Amino acid sequence: MNMHARPPQLLPEHAAFQTCQVRWVRHWNEHLFSFAIERPASFRFRSGEFVMLGLEGEGKPLMRAYSIASPTWSDELEFLSIKVPDGPLTSRLQTIREGDQLYLGRKPTGTLVSDALLPGRRLFMLSTGTGLAPFLSIARDPDIYDAFGQIVIVHSTRRVSDLAYHDELTAQLAGDPLVADQALLQFHYIPTVTREPFRTTGRIGQLIEEGWLFQPPVAGDRALNPETDRVMLCGSSEMIKDFSAMLESHGFEEGSNAKPGTFVVERAFVG
């Protein structure tokens, strides 16, 4: 008998949310973890969307927006989260175990979707920290490989150990049952670290300015081109603000579900 085991933490039913069981938890380091919950049969979403997720609070559920990291065809919903010691939700969420229950919102939404972009040749998904999450879903969507010739994920973190999913992405999603063959030819992953030695260092803006983002195997223009390139942004509010201004100064126009454009951002992101 495991003396450290505890019974699963179950939640009371709530009319506004579904109650889902945790399937697994993976701790990347002391700052970051991933987890997955069972996917209700009725739950539908588009790659890149987020949903409200949470636990029981004081008298009502304590909910937070989380981007869905799993592909739309998966039977589980995967998420990537930071650990905040004094965070109202994350301080508790980081202790979840297999078998525990979480609240799941009933309606996913978001603007980091291909529907909000005009057709293009290259798709650049620029992320910092846990902003990687929605791009993990998009990169495992077969439709995105039909829509774009090249799919590029750029992930910037402070520490090497913060590069969640590094091995899977470096292997060009070779283990994916649906996109492995297409990803081998069309998918590119560029990780960069800002505060520790690594093969690529510096902020994403620096990589763009110096042309590192456009070196082989990424083919095409050696700069971002609003005629052929499409960009998705997910990360800190500072990153979103700076890159939105930079893209607009280069002729890019922000898109939405109502009016597609040449770049999109997720303003609901926190992490």
Structure tokens at 85: 């010691």
Mean pLDDT, the chain, rounded, equals 95
Paired residues of 230 in beta bridges: 123
Residue 11 contacts residue 54 (beta carbons within 8 Å): no
pLDDT, tens digit, for every residue of 18-40? 999 999 999 999 999 999 999 99
Degrees (nearest 5) of the Cα angle 238, 242, 244? 115
What's the topology of domain 114-265? Rossmann fold (3.40.50)
pLDDT, tens digit, for every residue of 59-101? 889 999 999 999 999 999 999 999 998 999 999 999 999 999 9
Phi-psi region of 136 (alpha: psi -120 to 50; beta: other; left: phi over 0): alpha
Residue 19 contacts residue 101 (beta carbons within 8 Å): yes
Q: Does position 2 have pLDDT exceeding 60, yes or no?
A: no
What's the topology of domain 17-105? Elongation Factor Tu (Ef-tu); domain 3 (2.40.30)
Q: Does position 49 have pLDDT exceeding 50, yes or no?
A: yes
Neighbour order of strands in the sheet with 61-67:
61-67, 50-56, 101-105, 17-27, 32-38, 76-82
Residue 241 contacts residue 128 (beta carbons within 8 Å): no
pLDDT, tens digit, for every residue of 201-238? 999 999 999 999 999 999 999 999 999 999 999 999 99
Domain regions of the chain by residue span: 17-105, 114-265
Residue 268 contacts residue 235 (beta carbons within 8 Å): no
Q: Using CA of residue 137, residue 138, residue 142, residue 145, what is the dihedral sign?
A: negative
**R_g (Cα) of the chain, nearest Å:** 19
What is the β-pairing status of strands 17-27 and 101-105? antiparallel
pLDDT of residue 170: 97
Phi, psi of 83, rounded to the nearest 5 degrees: -110, 120
pLDDT, tens digit, for every residue of 242-257? 999 999 999 999 999 9
Structure tokens at 58: 């004081």
pLDDT, tens digit, for every residue of 133-151? 999 999 999 999 999 999 9
Per-residue pLDDT band at 118 (split at 50, 70, 90): very high
Q: Does position 184 have pLDDT exceeding 60, yes or no?
A: yes
pLDDT of residue 35: 99
CA distance 72 to 49: 10
Per-residue pLDDT band at 1 (split at 50, 70, 90): very low
Start-end of H helices in 103-147: 133-139, 142-147
Per-residue pLDDT band at 10 (split at 50, 70, 90): confident
How are the residues of the chain apportioned to helix, strand and coil, as percentages rounded to the nearest 5? 25, 30, 50
Burial class (CB in 10 A: 0-12, 13-18, 19+), 251: exposed
Q: Does position 3 have pLDDT exceeding 90, yes or no?
A: no
Q: Does position 270 have pLDDT exceeding 80, yes or no?
A: no
pLDDT of residue 26: 98
Half-sphere exposure of 184 (CA within 13 A, CB side): 7
Q: Considering the entire predicted model, what is its pTM?
A: 0.95
Degrees (nearest 5) of the Cα angle 250, 251, 252? 100
